[in-house]
């Protein structure tokens, strides 16, 4: 006969105990605050389960300021909850030179004076804080540009010096940078149109990318995506804003002009400047 009121001690639970292995951790999604998560609505591929595990799949690129890794976030035994992410980790070690920071951050203010003093003293804590500031700046920029409809990777979360974002690629292979693109002439014309459209989205919001080049544009399935945004600048408010916008225009037009795409950096600069200063 079946006992209608089994005592809890009679019930044997048989959960498979999953623990993160080497190169794994519990998903950091649950540990962060709402403001450290990407803009809502979250795309349906974002894995939000507390039972998810992050697995390191390798290095995508080591850079001057940060290293980018491929990461899988997945719920074990649930193929529906599995996604690839790009993890961009800013360097906090002494190897990193923050020589660029001055011109981009003029006019920006830190929130905490203890942090400010630590950065000024260049202590280990200060370097950590400085690196986290850059990751936060890039995360904020990605969120802002995502909301404006620019084709940036969706920013999933920021946690200290690490940003997790949509992985742009196919089958764990990152999309090529524009610089590696061997497109024919007609395709290059089309890519140029897309890049100018991206620059217009930035300018219409009063912004310039600030480090735009064929290395910070990825081409995925015929679509251009823009990355590497920690230094976006307010064209009007930053004393170097117009110069940085001009440099973006020259970098892009030089690259396309060398490939025989008809373009004029000064014309583009004039158009974008009007858009940027039209913002009040
Ligand atoms: N979301 C992404 N999806 C796929 N690949 C990415 C993504 N983000 C970055 N990468 C890869 O990592 C490289 C470096 O990224 P990013 O430009 O943001 O970092 P960086 O530190 O500025 O690097 P660098 O010093 O080379 O400019 C990119 O060129 C690209 O190959
Ligand atoms: Mg870059």
Determine if ligand 1 sits within 6 Å of the CB of residue 86: yes
pLDDT value at position 183? 81
**Short-list 269, 267, 272, 207, CA closest to 238:** 207
Residue 56 neighbours by CB under 8 Å, 6+ apart = 23, 24, 69, 70, 71
**Short-list 54, 65, 35, CA closest to 230:** 65
Determine if ligand 1 sits within 6 Å of the CB of residue 167: yes
Determine if ligand 1 sits within 6 Å of the CB of residue 219: no
pLDDT beyond 90 at 129: no
Q: What is the dihedral of CA 214, 220, 225, 226, to 10 degrees?
A: -40
At residue 79, the 3 state secondary structure works out as: coil
Mean pLDDT, the chain, rounded, equals 89
Ligand 1, atom nearest to 65 Cα: 21
Domains in the chain and their CATH numbers? 24-170 (3.30.200.20), 175-277 (1.10.510.10)
pLDDT value at position 92? 77
pLDDT value at position 95? 46
pLDDT value at position 16? 55
Check residues 59 and 109 and name the one with the higher pLDDT: 59
Which DSSP string corresponds to 235-266?
Answer: TTTSTTHHHHHHHHHHHHHHHHHHTT----HH
Check residues 74 and 118 and name the one with the higher pLDDT: 74
Looking at the chain, the whole-number percentage of residues with pLDDT higher than 90 is 74
Determine if ligand 1 sits within 6 Å of the CB of residue 168: yes
Provide mean pLDDT across the span 138-157.
98
Ligand 1, atom nearest to 67 Cα: 21
Q: Is the backbone peptide bond immediately before 41 cis, with ω within 30 degrees of 0?
A: yes
Which H or E element spans position 135? helix 124-147
Confidence band of 279 (pLDDT split at 50, 70, 90) = low
Could you tell me the distance, in angstroms and rounded to a whole number, from the CA of residue 218 to the centre of ligand 1?
9
Q: What are residue 155's phi and psi, to 5 degrees?
A: -80, 110
pLDDT beyond 50 at 25: yes
pLDDT value at position 14? 42
pLDDT value at position 130? 85
């Amino acid at each position: 006969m079946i006992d209608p009121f089994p005592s809890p001690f009679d019930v044997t639970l048989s959960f498979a105990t999953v623990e993160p292995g080497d190169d794994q951790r519990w998903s950091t999604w649950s540990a962060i605050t709402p403001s450290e998560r990407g803009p809502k609505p979250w795309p349906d591929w974002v894995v939000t389960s507390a039972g998810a595990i992050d697995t390191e799949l390798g290095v995508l690129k080591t850079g001057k300021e940060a290293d980018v890794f491929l990461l899988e976030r997945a719920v074990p035994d649930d193929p529906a909850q599995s996604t690839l992410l790009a993890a961009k980790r800013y360097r906090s070690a002494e190897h990193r030179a923050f020589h660029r920071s001055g011109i981009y951050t003029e006019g920006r203010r830190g929130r905490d004076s203890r942090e400010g003093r630590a950065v000024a003293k260049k202590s280990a804590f200060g370097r950590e804080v400085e690196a986290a500031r850059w990751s936060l700046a890039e995360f904020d920029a990605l969120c802002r540009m995502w909301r404006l409809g620019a084709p940036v990777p969706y920013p999933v979360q920021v946690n200290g010096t690490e940003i997790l974002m949509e992985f742009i690629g196919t089958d764990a292979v990152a999309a090529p940078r524009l610089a590696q693109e061997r497109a024919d002439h007609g395709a290059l014309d089309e890519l140029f149109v897309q890049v100018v459209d991206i620059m217009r989205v930035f300018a219409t919001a009063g912004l310039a990318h600030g480090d735009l080049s064929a290395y910070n544009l990825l081409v995925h399935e015929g679509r251009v995506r823009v990355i590497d945004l920690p230094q976006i600048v307010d064209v009007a408010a930053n004393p170097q804003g117009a110069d940085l916008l001009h440099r973006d225009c020259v970098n892009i037009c030089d690259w396309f002009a060398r490939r025989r795409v008809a373009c004029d950096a000064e014309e583009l600069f004039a158009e974008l400047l009007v858009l940027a200063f039209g913002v009040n």
